[in-house]
Amino acid sequence: MTARRAVLIKLPRDKCDVDYVKRLMALANLAYRGYEVWVPDIPMTLQYQLYGFKKYMESLVFGSVPKRWFARAWVPLKVLRVYGDGSMKGDKGAPVVLDFRSSVIRLRQVCRSEPGFVVEVPMPEWVVERVGEGGDVRYAMIGLKNDKPYLALVAERVVEPYVTSGYRLVVDVNAWSNGVAYGIVNPSNRIAEYSPLRPNLRLIDTWYHKAEKLSKELGKLKRLGLDSTPEAKRLRREIKALRRKVYAYLRDFAQKRARELALKALRLRAEVLIDDMIEESRRELIEEKIPRGLRKVYLAETRRFVKLLTTQLQ
């Protein structure tokens, strides 16, 4: 079984032409749909490689297939690997070169169409670790995220198939007011472990109510026409900081708990069952007459938690 993992590397914007990357993404979008459009001012080597990927579409579909005509499809690129002993692996004409001798990544005519234009970025430790584990970075992708250029390196490794041991890890996802409960059922159908995972609600409520109190003070100033005063600006900053604190705390909590559960499942080789009760939790919060803002807080990052958990399990 082949497992794939990817890392995003931010490219220097001063050296990477965003408009040029957009054009490459447009060509990739057309290639997904079976069209070939040859552009005179884009290096032919890049275009030949892009349309060569059509022979095995699986390599084009590391991400999601664009469902709209104007979707921005990331551009798949071949990778040449140069190891410390001087040996090479991959296409020598590949636009992305991983040079393990000098620990740099070279991008050839990927960021600009100028002949011989090369951009060098430091080699992430992640790449060295994956290669050390027996992985191979065969492909890369370039594209835009929030209108900023990024390079995605895709490492793949042959792993043993995941064979369950008879254990089951059952995860019940609710709003944070009830938390996430998990149970481990052993092969004889007995509960071996059970525990709820709940963030510090008292801390969350404190931050939320303090932000609401400051919002009311800010509202009074606005009604008096004093929303441009230093006092009003200070209140805005404090409200923004408190709200950011709440969501940062919940995001961190969701990430850590998802990792913990994924490691438990891996250690036990357990079959994982996830009961997503988010919509039911929303209705319960409404019935309990929880304020709308606090409902939003209690449900924040729950879907992200499920996505993080399923992604890490995969």
Instruction: State what percent of residues in the chain have pLDDT above 90.
Output: 24
Least confident segment among 32-41, 62-71, 102-111, 121-130: 62-71
| Mean pLDDT confidence for 84-100 | 87
Helix and strand counts by DSSP (H, E) for the chain: 8, 12
Least confident segment among 52-56, 69-73, 148-152: 52-56
For residue 76, is pLDDT > 70? yes
pLDDT of residue 92: 85
What are 286-300's pLDDT values in tens digits? 887 888 888 888 888
pLDDT of residue 59: 47
For residue 278, is pLDDT > 80? no
For residue 231, is pLDDT > 80? yes
Average pLDDT, the chain: 85
For residue 232, is pLDDT > 70? yes
CA distance 132 to 27: 35
Burial class for 224, CB neighbours closer than 10 Å (0-12, 13-18, 19+): exposed
Helical (H) or strand (E) element with 208: helix 201-223
Q: Half-sphere exposure (CA, 13 Å, Cβ side) for 287?
A: 6
Going by pLDDT thresholds of 50, 70 and 90, the confidence category of residue 263 is very high
For residue 58, is pLDDT > 60? no
Residue that wins the pLDDT comparison between 71 and 98: 98
| Mean pLDDT confidence for 237-264 | 92
Alpha helix positions (H), 76-200: 125-132
Nearest 10 degrees: CA dihedral of 210, 215, 221, 222? 170
For residue 183, is pLDDT > 80? yes
Q: How far is CA 8 from CA 5, 13, 18, in A?
A: 10, 15, 16
For residue 164, is pLDDT > 90? no
Going by pLDDT thresholds of 50, 70 and 90, the confidence category of residue 149 is very high
| Mean pLDDT confidence for 236-260 | 91
pLDDT of residue 54: 61
pLDDT of residue 224: 87
Going by pLDDT thresholds of 50, 70 and 90, the confidence category of residue 170 is very high
Residue that wins the pLDDT comparison between 248 and 55: 248
pLDDT of residue 273: 92
Task: Give the 3-state secondary structure percentages of the chain, helix then strand then coil, rounded to 5.
Answer: 40, 25, 35
pLDDT of residue 292: 82
> What is the chain's Cα-based Rg?
25
pLDDT of residue 61: 45
